[in-house]
Structure 1
Amino acid sequence: MKKVIFVSLLVSSFYFGFSQNTQQEASVEKSVFGIQIGVLGVWVHNELRLSNQIALRSEIGLGGVSFDHIEPMIALEPRWYYNLNKRVDKGRRIDGNSGNYISFRASYRFFDISEAENDNQDYLLLTPTWGVRRNIGKHFNYEAGLGIGLAFRNENGKEIGYTSVFNLKIGYRF
């Protein structure tokens, strides 16, 4: 009886062991480094994989709300690429972290040197963002995103306001 139970357990373990789904889950890339140009600025960025669907984007660049108001800025943004498996199932590309994402963007804009002395103020933007990134060929990509968040101005630390973010960028991935 012990031999029958042992053999049946052995056979069933082989059956269940080899019948597992061997398809691997889609994942963001380990590291993506590139440069992007938008309507009002230029940025250098790097994305590091934190998990299969989450990447941490760090960014430094020059940007602004008009050509007369360009500011240096840095940003940190965890991104959740939520549709990677669906894109793979449909035969679409996910290289270079191509997909739809939801993020929480924290960016710090330094004051604009060209403005008058009393208008110089640094500010921090905290913005939940939805966006898409798609590849064009092997190295080029484009990205679009929008969000609404809070702006904390560094004028005695007391000014808080709402802000909207819209970005449209084209870039090169190294």
Structure 2
Amino acid sequence: MKKYAYVLLNLIIFSNLYSQDSPSVEKNQFKINILLPGFVYEHGFTTKNTLYSEISFGIGYRNNDYYGSEWSFYPTITEQFRHYYNLDRRTSKGKVTVHNSGGFVALHSDYRFKAISTNDALSSLESSFTIGTVWGFERTYRSNFNLGLNMGAGYNVSSNSNDSGFVPVLGFSLGWVIGK
């Protein structure tokens, strides 16, 4: 009986050591973005892949001779299928991987609703859909403060078909991870 207990104890210890050597993404993670006000939910599917979902507000500025200048605000829904590629390397160097702190590549899509313009007499910006690929990184610090950046290229389809075409995709976030 002691022999079985000894073997079982060793299996538990070694399985815990192995799981610490193999970092993985968070299964469920919520964040608040304060830069562009919004909420984020990130769901881990495998040890390295997540679905990132964000609802936020974007801010735009336009200035031209005909319309003049205007600020606009628009609600946005963003989805990214992310692959975190460097979690093992970060762990081997003693760097933090908690709360998905690492580099990623992603398939990116976002839908921008019609703008809520500050001056409707000048113009109203139409809704649009963008799909593309991005590279980025996330870092979460001890206070759960979160910093994220991603950039890439995509194709934008506007409800006004004259404005469709290739566009740069850029995302920057500052906020907090909610929870442990």
TM interval, short-chain normalised: 0.7 to 0.9
State the partner residue of 1:61: 56
Q: Once the 2 structures are TM-superposed, how far is the Cα of residue 127 of structure 1 from its aligned partner?
A: 2.3
**Preserved contact between residue 31 and residue 175 of structure 2 (Cα < 8 Å):** yes
Aligned residues between the structures:
153
Q: Once the 2 structures are TM-superposed, how far is the Cα of residue 65 of structure 1 from its aligned partner?
A: 3.2
**Aligned residue among 137, 141, 144 for 1:139:** 144
What is the rounded CA distance, in whole Å, between the counterparts of 1:171 and 1:95 in structure 2?
Answer: 15
Q: Once the 2 structures are TM-superposed, how far is the Cα of residue 148 of structure 1 from its aligned partner?
A: 1.1
What is the rounded CA distance, in whole Å, between the counterparts of 2:122 and 2:158 in structure 1?
Answer: 15
Q: Rg bigger for which structure?
A: 1
Q: CA RMSD in A?
A: 2.3
SS at match of 1:96: helix
What is the rounded CA distance, in whole Å, between the counterparts of 2:101 and 2:121 in structure 1?
Answer: 41
What is the rounded CA distance, in whole Å, between the counterparts of 1:56 and 1:117 in structure 2?
Answer: 38
**Aligned residue among 87, 91, 99 for 2:90:** 87
- How do 1:1-174 and structure 2 match up within 5 A? 23-24=18-19, 25-38=22-35, 41-66=36-61, 68-114=71-117, 115=120, 119-155=124-160, 157=161, 159-174=163-178
Q: Once the 2 structures are TM-superposed, how far is the Cα of residue 30 of structure 1 from its aligned partner?
A: 0.6
What is the rounded CA distance, in whole Å, between the counterparts of 1:120 and 1:93 in structure 2?
Answer: 42
State the TM-score, normalizing by the size of structure 1: 0.79
**Preserved contact between residue 116 and residue 124 of structure 2 (Cα < 8 Å):** no
CA offset digits 1:121-140 (Å, max 9, x no partner): 21001121111111221311
State the TM-score, normalizing by the size of structure 2: 0.76
**Percent of aligned pairs with the same amino acid:** 27
Structure 1 counterpart of 2:44, one-letter code: R
What is the rounded CA distance, in whole Å, between the counterparts of 1:109 and 1:118 in structure 2?
Answer: 16
Residues 81, 116 of structure 1: alpha-carbon distance in 2 compared, 3 angstrom cutoff: farther
**5+ long unaligned stretches in structure 1:** 1-17
Structure 2 counterpart of 1:57, one-letter code: Y
SS at match of 2:37: strand
Deviates more, 1:106-115 or 1:22-31: 22-31
**5+ long unaligned stretches in structure 2:** 1-10, 62-69
CA offset digits 1:56-77 (Å, max 9, x no partner): 0111010133381220011111
What is the rounded CA distance, in whole Å, between the counterparts of 1:116 and 1:47 in structure 2?
Answer: 39
Structure 2 counterpart of 1:160, one-letter code: S
